[in-house]
Structure 1
């Protein structure tokens, strides 16, 4: 039986390759990704674990923009190290006039995220889950060890 051990990459079609390349190049430089490979109408980045590719949509595909709610990709989430990284991402997004659809906040119990749009309206997310629980466990573990 085959077993998936991770997601290797995502590949997204864009309406304006040069515009999207500029957007993602800045974003991925900020997120510490490097260019994996580049071709005439596509480019991929990696951080050694995650790979993200964009390619030019064909003429038919460029006739309609992405709309969250249509069949297909709803959003893509980048897991960050901590809540501070989420806040720093939001600062980067504001500085670069990126549309933020949901600002950095706790959206679920111990789920801290910022949601934003790429040039085609594809929803992206920077998030950290579990940081408060991790800190509580560390504190609880330290207290238990101190009592012994």
Structure 2
């Protein structure tokens, strides 16, 4: 449905490091580095979008409320756990540890963190454990 999403970040270099560490466990890599902006997506052979440079973009700017919530797809519950650990190690703040969120559906397994600019970033696996 979406081709890409972009957010402004206050520290582009720090955010590149943060998202590279956090999205790695989910199978995403930095696909384009333009200095003041960077795209993240799946490696070339696994693309599901026509955008060759990434589906998630960060750009140097001035984040302004209201801040957004971005949920990244994880193929396993273990990847959600690894995302959460990597996010905390990279300087993210816990906003809901890995676990089932049955209010959404019985197999909704997710973790939430706040990135360095306060964005609510989620990894979610919809598959049964």
Q: TM-score, normalising length from structure 2?
A: 0.77
Classify 1:112/1:36 alpha carbon distance in 2 versus 1 (closer, same or farther; 3 Å): same
- Separation in 2, partners of 1:121, 1:66: 10
2:20 is the counterpart of 1:30? no
Q: Which residue of 1 aligns with 2:58?
A: 54
Q: Larger % of helix: which?
A: 1
Between the two structures, name the one with larger relative contact order (CA 8 Å, sep ≥ 6): 2
In the TM superposition, residue 44 of structure 1 has moved relative to its aligned partner by: 0.4
Q: Which residue of 1 aligns with 2:14?
A: 19
- Separation in 1, partners of 2:26, 2:13: 20
Counterpart of 1:43 (choices 14, 38, 41) is 38
User: Which of the two has higher C-alpha Rg?
Assistant: 1
Q: TM-score, normalising length from structure 1?
A: 0.69
The runs of 5 or more residues in structure 1 that have no matched partner are 1-5, 133-148
| Runs of at least 4 residues off by over 6 Å | none
